[in-house]
């Protein structure tokens, strides 16, 4: 008999969701992470009097999410209350630099979806939309809500930018939508499939965006790992999986720096490329599968800085800022790589203490700032991206510099070392996982069941859809069902 029914490599949101649900189903689960705690890219740490994520992490949708389902399944709703932006003073704030170079501020209550009339007013006031433009936006919205599931499948191959442009929207409204997709998918807008966009924007319009959790975004992951232990499983921390153990053409366990463990199924949350190319290694799987995995494209990075402030500078819990030049499609990303940058950065600010003031000493604010960057842990362009991000932030919030107590930049190299090993040149520091682009989404998304019997993938690279962490938890639910089915319930 194996040591465990299921060994899970990685306690990111995909891994912990699957581990906890399998433990709930009565399976003997081994959950392993190289870090000292659960949460992966969305981990919350405690250091020098502050509790915070390593970068801005806010969830979409805010209500009715897979996070709510997970908390309910584990019975931990009270221990990590999921908080929508309405609890944060200032809610959601968005700033748009118009063609005249003036920053226009959308009122806080006009967060996407929660207030349709407020949103129309904001599109007119901030983006200069006319009644005809609003009608065109309405047409797009009707198409978005009215597309059937079969029609959606056919839209796996169409790029979202092209689709938005087909509604004859003016450039400022294209910016509004393209920036939104950059924040949600962190990928070039021209190649994000319309199917993925429609599925995700529907969730956003129904459930709004900007969810956080009391005690930190990673709190639910910690509780899920605790749940595994409370239900007879093991959570092995500071333990790196070095190899998937294979016998007679089947995954039968894992070799770690803390010993070898056998399991009937091995589920990896470490990313498809690190799992197949490093933990399994070449020579076991069909060459064409290995080559296909090697050629998969990582998403773009989010890079930026953490500010610890001695006063609340940011009034909104979630703030965004951009101009018509800030969002990235392939062309603009290539331009930035050549050193041609937009007039303003695409800014994302998560002021997490606006949601939960207990995360910092009284009166202090934690502001996690991010912008688009390269996923290559060695990319030098990311330093410039951070410099420009801070310059744009200082333009909008000039008082911020007087209140910074600590300033901690982060970049693709930190993302890779905390979470995903860089096993393919140019990859590892991606924000989410595999790029959610045509050829890697919808029906083309990697199958969580790998060609190696007994080995599965969970997390953002396989099995789910949607925005970052939500995609990981969605994958956790779906891959759990597959693994339990294969193990016979």
Ligand X SMILES: Cc1cc2nc3c(=O)[nH]c(=O)nc-3n(C[C@H](O)[C@H](O)[C@H](O)COP(=O)(O)OP(=O)(O)OC[C@H]3O[C@@H](n4cnc5c(N)ncnc54)[C@H](O)[C@@H]3O)c2cc1C
Interacting residues with ligand X (CB under 6 A) = 9-15, 32-35, 40-42, 55-59, 240-241, 269-270, 274, 302, 370, 415, 419-421, 431-433, 459-460, 467-470, 472
Reduced to 3 states, what is the DSSP secondary structure of residue 456?
strand
Query: What are the start-end ranges of the H helices in 156-302?
Result: 160-165, 171-185, 194-207, 219-230, 272-273, 287-295
Q: Which is nearer to ligand X, 23 or 123 (CB)?
A: 23
- CA nearest to 395, candidates 347, 355, 329: 347
Q: Which is nearer to ligand X, 59 or 172 (CB)?
A: 59
Strand partners, 212: 83
Sheet hosting strand 103-106, strand order edge to edge? 103-106, 92-97, 318-323, 347-350, 365-373, 301-309, 404-410
The CA distance from 125 to 105, in Å, is: 9
Q: Which is nearer to ligand X, 37 or 195 (CB)?
A: 37
CB of 457 to ligand X, least distance (A): 9
CB of 256 to ligand X, least distance (A): 7
CB of 245 to ligand X, least distance (A): 13
Burial class, 339, CB count within 10 angstroms (exposed 0-12 / middle 13-18 / buried 19+): exposed
The CA distance from 94 to 159, in Å, is: 25
Q: Which is nearer to ligand X, 40 or 215 (CB)?
A: 40
- CA nearest to 169, candidates 134, 121, 193, 145: 134
CB of 303 to ligand X, least distance (A): 7
CB of 240 to ligand X, least distance (A): 4
Q: Which is nearer to ligand X, 90 or 170 (CB)?
A: 90
CB of 431 to ligand X, least distance (A): 4
Q: Which is nearer to ligand X, 155 or 460 (CB)?
A: 460
Q: Which is nearer to ligand X, 216 or 274 (CB)?
A: 274
Report the residue number whose CB is nearest to ligand X.
12
Query: What are the start-end ranges of the H helices in 308-429?
Result: 330-337, 381-396, 412-418
The CA distance from 427 to 415, in Å, is: 11
CB of 270 to ligand X, least distance (A): 3
The CA distance from 465 to 202, in Å, is: 12
CB of 12 to ligand X, least distance (A): 2
Q: Which is nearer to ligand X, 123 or 223 (CB)?
A: 223
The CA distance from 202 to 179, in Å, is: 17
CB of 170 to ligand X, least distance (A): 28
Q: Are 126 and 105 in contact (CB under 8 A)?
A: yes
Q: Which is nearer to ligand X, 154 or 229 (CB)?
A: 229
Dihedral sign from CA coordinates of 313, 365, 410, 188: negative
């Amino acid at each position: 008999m194996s040591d465990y029914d299921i060994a899970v490599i990685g306690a990111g949101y995909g891994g912990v969701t699957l581990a906890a649900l399998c433990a709930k189903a009565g399976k003997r689960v081994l959950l392993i992470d190289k870090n000292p705690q659960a949460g992966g890219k969305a981990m919350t740490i405690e250091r020098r009097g502050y509790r915070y994520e390593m970068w801005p992490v806010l969830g979409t949708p805010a209500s009715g999410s897979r996070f709510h389902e997970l908390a309910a399944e584990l019975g931990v709703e009270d221990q990590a209350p999921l908080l929508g932006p309405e609890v944060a003073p200032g809610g959601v704030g968005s700033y748009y630099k118009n063609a005249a170079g003036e920053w226009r501020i959308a009122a806080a209550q006009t967060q996407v979806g929660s207030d349709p009339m407020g949103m129309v007013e904001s599109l007119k006031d901030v983006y200069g939309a006319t009644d005809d433009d609003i009608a065109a936006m309405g047409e797009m919205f009707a198409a978005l809500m009215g597309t059937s599931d079969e029609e959606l499948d056919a839209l796996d191959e169409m790029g979202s930018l092209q689709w938005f442009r087909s509604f004859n929207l003016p450039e400022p409204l294209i910016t509004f939508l393209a920036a939104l997709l950059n924040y949600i998918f962190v990928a070039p807008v021209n190649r994000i499939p319309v199917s993925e966009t429609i599925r995700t924007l529907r969730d956003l319009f129904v459930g709004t965006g900007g969810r956080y959790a009391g005690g930190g975004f990673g709190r639910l992951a910690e509780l899920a790992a605790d749940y595994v232990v409370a239900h007879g499983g093991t959570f092995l921390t500071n333990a790196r999986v070095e190899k998937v153990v294979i016998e007679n053409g089947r995954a039968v366990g894992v070799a770690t720096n803390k010993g070898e463990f056998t399991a009937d199924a091995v589920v990896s949350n470490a990313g498809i490329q690190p799992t197949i190319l490093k933990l399994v290694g070449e020579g076991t799987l069909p060459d064409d599968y290995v080559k296909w995995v090697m050629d998969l494209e990582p998403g773009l990075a989010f890079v930026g800085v953490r500010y610890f402030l001695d006063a609340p500078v940011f009034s909104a819990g979630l703030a965004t800022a951009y101009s018509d030049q800030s969002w990235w499609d392939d062309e603009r990303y290539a331009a930035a790589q050549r050193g041609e940058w937009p007039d303003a950065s695409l800014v994302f600010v998560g002021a997490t203490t606006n949601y939960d003031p207990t995360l910092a000493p009284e009166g202090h604010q934690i502001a996690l700032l991010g912008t688009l960057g390269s996923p290559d842990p060695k990319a030098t362009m990311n330093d410039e991206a951070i410099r420009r991000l801070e310059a744009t932030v200082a333009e909008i919030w000039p008082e911020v510099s007087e209140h910074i107590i600590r300033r901690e930049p982060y970049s693709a190299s930190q993302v890779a070392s905390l979470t995903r090993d860089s096993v393919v040149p140019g990859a590892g520091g991606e924000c989410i996982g595999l790029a959610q682009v045509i050829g890697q989404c919808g029906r083309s998304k990697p199958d969580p069941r790998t060609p190696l019997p007994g080995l599965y993938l969970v997390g953002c690279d396989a099995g789910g859809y949607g925005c970052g962490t939500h995609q990981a938890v969605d994958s956790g639910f779906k891959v759990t069902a597959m693994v339990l089915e294969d193990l016979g319930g």
